[in-house]
Chain A
Amino acid sequence: GQNIDQPTEMTATEGAIVQINCTYQTSGFNGLFWYQQHAGEAPTFLSYNVLDGLEEKGRFSSFLSRSKGYSYLLLKELQMKDSASYLCAVVDSNYQLIWGAGTKLIIKP
């Protein structure tokens, strides 16, 4: 079956760095997305990786290793507004998105 795993919840301190991991087992692979979702709102796009390596975009970076079925989202210089759920989603061979359950990130002052 298809499976996406990510931690349920993480806590970090304002100004620090946090890494949210995502491992996947899917039928085919056509890319991996990270979305941010604040409570009561729709998800917003953060990043898309289809090749191995690190993609940096401001305070957020995303890494992919296709051979290991692994990705992480790295958030630097954490701000209180970064408190949200972070969803990992993989595009399978049918171009459908398989969603992880999301990681709730709690930022403490």
Chain B
Amino acid sequence: GAVVSQHPSRVICKSGTSVKIECRSLDFQATTMFWYRQFPKQSLMLMATSNEGSKATYEQGVEKDKFLINHASLTLSTLTVTSAHPEDSSFYICSARGIAGGDTGELFFGEGSRLTVL
């Protein structure tokens, strides 16, 4: 099946620094990528939807200046957490929908990135 690679899988950073997380579709072109965050024992919370070559659409309550999303190519989207704070510590997961998923909406998920802000 389709493969989505997310990197890094774990990152620890100091408060105030910025962290970039990459999401790559390895064997298909991802026209749309989604970024989620998940707190312990909670469901996935959609942060933003990005379409290749256009600005991301952020969900209500998500600060677009803090969570910068770039989807510059059909195989790569990046999420940058700027000026990270301890409350940003979470599990960030990307997913991609593209030709491999057809129009069914099936999403292919990356492995997730666990961010810990000290």
Contacts and interface: CB of A to CB of B under 8 A. Distances in A.
Interface in A66-109: 87, 91, 95-97, 99-102, 104
B60 interface: no
Interface residues of A, number: 21
Nearest to B2: A45
Contact of A87 (B34, B44, B106): B44
B49 to A, nearest CB: 8
Contacts, number: 48
Interface residues of B, number: 22
B11 to A, nearest CB: 15
B107 interface: yes
A48 B43 contact: no
A101 B46 CA distance: 12
Interface of B: 1, 6, 34, 41-44, 46, 49, 91, 93, 103-112, 114
